[in-house]
Amino acid sequence: MIRNNWKLCDLKAVYRTAFSGIIVSLFFVTAGLAQQGVTPAHIAEMQAVNGAVISDDGSHIAFTLSVPADPYKENAPNRNHLYVLDTTEGTKKAYYTGGSVASVQFRPGTKTISFLAQQAGDATRSLYEVPIDGGEAVKIFSFPRNVLSYTWHSDGNHIAFTAFEEAESSSSPLPYRAEVFEENQANRKGYITNVSREDHDPHLIQVDGSVYMIEWSPDGSQLVVSAAPTPGVDDSFMAQQVFVVDYRTREISAEINNRGKIGQVTWSPDGQRLALRAGANINDPIDGRILIASARGGTPQVIDEGYEGKYEQIRWVGNYELQFLASEGTASVLGTIEMNGSNKTIIHRAETHAISSFTVSEDGDIAFVASSPEHPSEVFHLASNSSSPDRKTYHNAWLNNVELGRQEVVTYETRDGQFSIDGMLIYPVGYQSGTTVPVITVVHGGPEAHYSNGWLTAYSMPGQMAATKGYAVFYPNYRGSTGRGLEFAKSSQGDLAGKEFDDIVDGVDYLIEQGIADPDRIGVTGGSYGGYASAWMSTYYSDRFAAAVMFVGISNNLSKWGTSDIPEELYLVHSRERMWQSDSKWMEYLQRSPIYWINRAQTPILIMHGAQDTRVHPAQSLELYRHLKVRRPDVPARLVWYPGEGHGNSRAAAKLDYNYRMLEWFDTYLMTGNRSAEMPHWDAPVPARD
């Protein structure tokens, strides 16, 4: 049976509520608004720019556009199509849309653009190039295994690249292969080759472990390489070390004694120094500090230590100066800073654009990718002689025909008076001041992440879709979030589900005090650590939340530690202690687990999880579901698995299924405020295509 998800609720449930007349009126008002607002169908076809690079002369910007598959035809991930923008004429052209591309770069000394792709007939992902003025893409290098990443030597002929080494094959005579957990995993290795010479055998870079980042020195005589001891996710997060490698011998010539997370490493123009975007120390939860090290080795030094923001991207603009992209609260900032931390200058501050990356021409023109509250990510161009960026791309034409809810930054104080918390609030479409409305609280994961004041609607984030239906949507950056400096990012460590989640409830109370939120109709959703918060709010704080949607979330900290692929990261940047240190710790960790508070549960909860999740094992969702069914069978609870998905859905049909289920759950329990309403039909309420 085909059912229309755009019903805001089951009318039978509505009539059972004490305020049926009011809610029925609200139903028809918001149903009318739904015809002109954002829908799951819009989000299923939403495109977004996810990378851009400007040519050295600033004449062209190559960018990739993330294009979703048709969920009614295939359950496939988004594909990245290659486009090129002529900055002089302001025109864009499609250069490669037959598949998905990655790592788009301008090849030095040529008028071509290179990228990674796997075309029909290719056994592996290979390196292609296309003329800058358009034409047929030509394969210029392939390898027996997928090329994962690459970087050009300044001569335009040599590349350094990464690929997995060949794993050992089984010699068993059985027509069956058992999986031996965490053994025989292939390392990522680094190689050097000359793509201009046919049949040139790549040379292995002599660095042990698994290689992640590689960059040539400006003169091409050395490379900087980051490597972890094993290919395990935990080591990739917490144990990457930086090495300098001689190009000719391909052996290590210097070691950088960095410790902790690392996201970027880059050479100074004179080749004397390295800048790392990394953690300040092993307990820093993010790679958001700038560290400077000698290329001859040694311990890197943190600059701008007291900065109350997060560095997102860095590049050298001289031998002693760096250019950066940073997050400051909900804003994005482009600027420069001396390598000793002095003379910080702001080039552009974006309060209503979330900038995700930038690239610079030789003349100082900047191309960056950013979203806003009104649109997903697009390409912007900031000329060196201008203070105002120009938006260069316009996708998602459907945005011209929908009405959006107003989005604004909100700030409130925590109950302990220690911090002010910021976040975003999306008002319902057509909201009238003084009206109380149902609120969906969306909690980010990490907790080392944050929401910026950009586009905040996706398959798992109700955003403008919920605003269309009459909800306000609240995105709090609770303590432990990024973009507020090291002290704030570390402030939730060792206090799982404690003050960090109290901050979320304090934000809800602020919205109630402001006359915006209906205290009887507060909902919550989130993935990963946000899923943990959703489970916590539906148990420990269940009296405050009328509905919850938990995604890939945590329910039991004891079993979480024994099943996740990041136990060391959990210890080093989250818990800061191991639960087996003393007998009392076991009980403390259990008491910070939602399953411990099942006796309080009265919040209808929809639990969804990728069946192949290794970060938060699907058993975490199963535990919460089973405890609820056995101990609180009167509380509506549903568990949904997504086969083939991991820590978040990546495929089109799985995303759309999730989207409709999430909204239907909130419509059933949150819009009505009726916690005892009959559960929706088990099948996904996805409408037939017109």
Q: Report the CATH number at residue 241.
A: 2.120.10.30
Distance from C-alpha of 688 to C-alpha of 677, rounded to nearest angstrom: 26
Q: How far is CA 357 from the centre of its chain?
A: 13
Q: Is the pLDDT of residue 9 over 70?
A: no
Q: Is the pLDDT of residue 570 over 60?
A: yes
* Residues 347 and 444 occupy one common structural domain: no
pLDDT in tens, 311-358: 999 999 999 999 999 999 999 999 999 999 999 999 999 999 999 999
* Residues 308 and 422 occupy one common structural domain: no
Q: How confident is the model at residue 36 (pLDDT cuts 50, 70, 90)?
A: confident
Torsion of CA 329, 469, 395, 410, to 10 degrees: -10
Last residue of one domain, picked from the residues 323, 351, 379: 351
* Residues 201 and 323 occupy one common structural domain: yes
Q: What is the mean pLDDT of residues 86-103?
A: 94
Which has the closest alpha carbon to 191: 156, 235, 231, 146? Answer: 146
pLDDT in tens, 109-126: 999 999 999 999 999 999
* Residues 480 and 589 occupy one common structural domain: yes
Mean pLDDT over each residue of the chain, to the nearest integer:
93
Q: Is the pLDDT of residue 27 over 60?
A: no
Q: Report yes or no: 321 and 327 within 8 Å, Cβ to Cβ.
A: no
pLDDT in tens, 133-164: 989 999 999 999 999 999 999 999 999 999 99
Q: Is the pLDDT of residue 18 over 60?
A: no
Give the three-class secondary structure for 107: coil
The first and second tokens of residue 112, run together, are 């071509």
* Residues 227 and 298 occupy one common structural domain: yes
Last residue of one domain, picked from the residues 351, 368, 388: 351
Give the three-class secondary structure for 392: coil
**Residue 582: what pLDDT?**
86
Please indicate, yes or no, if residue 204 is contained in any of the structural domains: yes
* Residues 152 and 301 occupy one common structural domain: yes
Please indicate, yes or no, if residue 309 is contained in any of the structural domains: yes
Q: How far is CA 301 from CA 137, 297, 340, in A?
A: 44, 12, 9
Q: What is the CATH number of the domain that holds 580?
A: 3.40.50.1820
* Residues 341 and 217 occupy one common structural domain: yes
Please indicate, yes or no, if residue 463 is contained in any of the structural domains: no
Q: What is the mean pLDDT of residues 626-631?
A: 98
* Residues 311 and 442 occupy one common structural domain: no
* Residues 604 and 497 occupy one common structural domain: yes
Q: Which residues pair with residue 213 across a beta bridge?
A: 226
Q: What is the mean pLDDT of residues 597-619?
A: 98
Peptide bond into 462 cis (omega under 30): no
Sheet holding 262-267, edge to edge: 262-267, 273-278, 289-294, 301-303
Sheet holding 60-67, edge to edge: 48-54, 60-67, 79-86, 91-96
Please indicate, yes or no, if residue 664 is contained in any of the structural domains: yes
The first and second tokens of residue 690, run together, are 């017109």
Q: How confident is the model at residue 534 (pLDDT cuts 50, 70, 90)?
A: very high
Please report the DSSP string for 506-530 in residue order.
HHHHHHHHTT-EEEEEEEEEEETHH
Distance from C-alpha of 258 to C-alpha of 237, rounded to nearest angstrom: 13
Q: How confident is the model at residue 690 (pLDDT cuts 50, 70, 90)?
A: confident
Q: Report yes or no: 651 and 645 within 8 Å, Cβ to Cβ.
A: yes
How are beta strands 472-477 and 437-443 bridged, if at all? parallel
Domain residues for 603? 410-426+435-449+471-669
Q: How confident is the model at residue 16 (pLDDT cuts 50, 70, 90)?
A: very low
Please indicate, yes or no, if residue 22 is contained in any of the structural domains: no
pLDDT in tens, 460-495: 999 999 999 999 999 999 999 999 999 999 999 999
Distance from C-alpha of 175 to C-alpha of 352, rounded to nearest angstrom: 58
Please indicate, yes or no, if residue 66 is contained in any of the structural domains: no
**Residue 23: what pLDDT?**
36
Q: How far is CA 489 from CA 280, 306, 452, 557, in A?
A: 12, 13, 15, 21
Please indicate, yes or no, if residue 546 is contained in any of the structural domains: yes
Please indicate, yes or no, if residue 252 is contained in any of the structural domains: yes
* Total structural domains within the chain: 2
Portion of the chain with pLDDT greater than 90, in percent: 92
Is this model's pTM higher than 0.85 or not? yes
Query: Which element (helix H / strand E) includes 276?
Result: strand 273-278
How many beta carbons lie within 10 A of that of residue 163, not counting itself? 22
CA angle 670, 671, 675 (to 5 degrees): 40
